[in-house]
Amino acid sequence: MVFGTEKVMNGSGAGAVYGLALIGAAVYYIQHAHSFWEGVLGVLKAIVWPAFLVYKVLEFLKM
């Protein structure tokens, strides 16, 4: 009997989509930055962009 031979693949597509969106958001925020520190803030915003999106959607739906 051999243990540990099962392969579990879950969420790999979602990680790729999130990674591409993270890169796209970082490029967008950095291009619109007027100073170095705005660019740094843009990278931080790119990391947490899903939270902004969910907030705006819930605000739009008045929930």
Q: What angle in degrees, to the nearest 10, is found between the helix axes of 36-47 and 12-31?
A: 160
Q: Examine residue 46 and state whether it is found in any structural domain, yes or no.
A: yes
Q: Examine residue 59 and state whether it is found in any structural domain, yes or no.
A: yes
Q: How many domains does the chain have?
A: 1
Residues 6+ apart with CB under 8 A from 47: 22
Task: Give the confidence band of 38 by pLDDT, cuts at 50, 70, 90.
Answer: very high
Q: Examine residue 60 and state whether it is found in any structural domain, yes or no.
A: yes
Q: Which domain holds residue 48?
A: 36-63
Q: Examine residue 6 and state whether it is found in any structural domain, yes or no.
A: no
pTM of the model: 0.64
Q: Examine residue 25 and state whether it is found in any structural domain, yes or no.
A: no
Residues 6-25: pLDDT tens digits?
A: 666 665 677 888 888 889 99
pLDDT of residue 63: 81
Strands (E), 1-63: none
Average pLDDT over residues 34-45: 94
Q: Examine residue 16 and state whether it is found in any structural domain, yes or no.
A: no
Tokens matching residue 23: 């890169």
Q: Examine residue 18 and state whether it is found in any structural domain, yes or no.
A: no
